[in-house]
Amino acid sequence: MELTVLESSGFCPGVMRATREIERLLDKGEDVRICVLGELIHNPTYMEMLEGRGVETVESGDVGDIAEESDNGRRTVLFIRAHGVSEATESYLARLCSEHPRFEVKDMTCTFVRRIHDIVVKNTSDSSLLMLFGTKGHPEVEGIRGHAKGEVTVFSDPDAVDERIFALAEGKKRIIALSQTTQSTVLWKKSQKKIKNLCTNAEIFDTICNITEKRQADTAALARRSDGMIIIGGKTSSNSKKLYETARENCENTVWIETADQLQPRLFIGAERVGIAAGASTPGVIIEEVVNKMTNEISTENFEELLEGSLKTLNTGDVVPCIVTSVTAGELGVDIGAKVTGVIPKDQVTDDPAAKLEDLYKVGDTFEAFVIKVSDIEGMATLSKKRVDSMKNWGTLVAAKDSGEILEGKITEAVRGGVIAIVNGNRVFIPGRHTGLPKDADLTALVGKVEKMRIIDINATRRHAYGSIRSVADEEKKAREAEVWANIEEGKHYVGRVKSLTGFGAFVDIGGVDGMVHNTELSWKRIKHPSEVVNVGDEIEVFVKAFDVEKHRISLGYKTPEMNSWFVFAAQHQVGDVIPVKIVSLMPFGAFAEIIDGVDGLIHISQIADHKIEKPEDELKIGDVVNVKITAIDDEKQKVSLSIRALLRDLKETAEEAAEEAPAADEE
């Protein structure tokens, strides 16, 4: 067998710089606390080595406490990994360094990533749209977003570039497009083409690391001339994933492993040429271990032994290692190292009927499965992954029952008396009264949802587990209520949801606690029922008018001065304006007309016509829409005087003036 290792495999310069710096500090042997903001690299083996040497992986929320602890403790050095961080985080860390002399930050942000930060800072504004080709939630992407101003949209597939994205650009002065450094060059070029077709003035920056780009191209070339490919890299590594996808496109027999222990050399029996490529977060020692394992296990001396050993005898009840060789909608094809082909039907993979095997597994994935049936005649073995998962994880349910730990499970079906959830590969029955739904509610409403629950009972003999969603929901509700009462104060605003309506007002949930908005606080005008203003389920902004902690009562306000109809009217109209109005009532002394909803004006009987009338009904009827002139506004009494007569007089005077000017125009 010809074994070829891609020359550009392993640590990229950015990762190399970060690892060398942290190893240099470790080798000094100083009494210093070393922390990394997030994983230094996406390689669990290397991270375990660092942790074994005392390096701590911390999150942003921990940094403030760590900096304070350095004041009276060991000198502390915090490393920013190659992915970089947001501008806000950089400023925060700089402030901590100035406030705590024994706290130091070493910025290991990759130069390619730093260039992207500079581009974003210089080219984005409140009136720009940044289109970022990358993986949502990836630390590099989040760091880039944290340097951008204005609208930012992240996409990871060229198919996502369509008119919907450019709807975000409406009214934007600039559209900027760039890529995460480790994305697929091929997909980025496809994305650029679509962007240019849809928006000719978009400014596109090529920001994929040229080292990453070369490695992807070299991997594709190596895969095309190989019978098998081994990709080495962390499963959370973006660039390793791109290498695997690139290799798979050019060589079907491609596997993705993190360490040499996961390698199954028998997959490459008969292959003449096997290529090896490693991601940017893969240490050289792991690459060397993989090469040694391939060299030692597949050799002329032990080839026949390995082949024979791979064709082991299989028995029902065995638990065997599997390597996925094919994925369809209904089953997984697996290599089980035996004389028969392994098949795992979908219902033996997952209890979720909506799950798609294509989304869950890829060729090359490894796991263990339980042998259900072996047929030498058909040359096939039927296996169950689900049963192994259940056996392995049953202990976690037992432990959770004793500890009260909150677990998560997906509801897969509604059965008589309750629902079934899959928790860590095990079926958990949740009785109807423990679902949290009202009595006689439709339990199928929970199917497909992921819910938090506690294990409340275990039948070890029959391996049955019983859970409760309600106990967790009740506990969370109490916590939310306690938080509301601990922080409530008069005038505080909340965005609440209308929970129910009564004849005198609306109850609004402001985060676990209900408050009452009285009808008089819902509207400036008189209403008969709160449904005239709000509906159950509406989200509205309310504020606290008064509260009683002992009685657990909260009075809420909804209407504000800006919602006052008179306020709206006064802001839009003034004396002398001519406006259309609707006649809403007729009185002996005149007619009331609606100007806007909630504000009426009076047209006195003397102002209805340009001649004397006996009663308003002689000229007007309810429902008429007429033009009037505003003749007076009384802000104090909130009254408006209107006149049709004044408008008619103005029109008559205008006509007379036009008639007087007409002869002069003829003489000219």
Strands (E) in 588-648, as ranges, are 590-596, 599-604, 625-634, 639-643
SS3 for 232?
strand
Q: How many CA atoms lie within 13 A of 32 on its CB side?
A: 20
Q: Report yes or no: 475 and 462 within 8 Å, Cβ to Cβ.
A: no
Which region holds residue 120: left if phi is over 0, alpha if psi is between -120 and 50, else beta?
alpha
- What is the C-alpha separation between 653 and 649, in angstroms, rounded? 6
What 3-state class would DSSP assign to 268?
A: helix
E strand map for 346-473: 366-375, 380-384, 407-415, 418-423, 426-431, 450-459, 464-468
DSSP 338: B
Among residues 39, 90, 140, 258, the one annotated as catalytic is 140
Q: Do the beta carbons of residue 521 and residue 558 sit within 8 Å?
A: yes
Token pair in block for residue 81: 């990994």
In one-letter notation, the amino acid at residue 102 is R
521 sits in the region (left: phi over 0; alpha: psi -120 to 50; else beta) called alpha
Phi, psi of 218 (to 5 degrees): -65, -35
Angstrom distance (rounded) from CA 411 to CA 429: 10
Per-residue burial over 226-260, b = 16 or more CB atoms within 10 Å of its CB, e = otherwise: bbbbbbbbbeebbbbbbbbbbbbebbebbbbbbbb
Answer for the pair 503, 532: CB distance below 8 angstroms, yes or no. no
The Cα–Cα gap between 482 and 551 comes to 14
> What distance in Å separates the CA atoms of residue 204 and residue 219, rounded to the nearest whole number?
26
Fill in the DSSP letter of residue 55. P
How far is residue 539's CA from residue 510's CA, in Å, rounded to a whole number? 10
- DSSP string over 515-566: EEEEHHHH-SS--SSGGGT--TT-EEEEEEEEEETTTTEEEEE---GGG-HH
48 carries an active-site annotation: no
Other CB atoms closer than 10 Å to residue 314's CB: what's the count? 18
Tell me how far apart the 2 most distant CA atoms of the chain are, in Å.
123
The values of phi and psi at residue 288, to 5°, are: -65, -40
Closest CA to 319 of 381, 399, 362, 269: 381
Q: Of 477, 437, 469, which is closest to residue 453 (Cα–Cα)?
A: 469
Residue type, 524: W
Residues acting as catalytic residues: 140
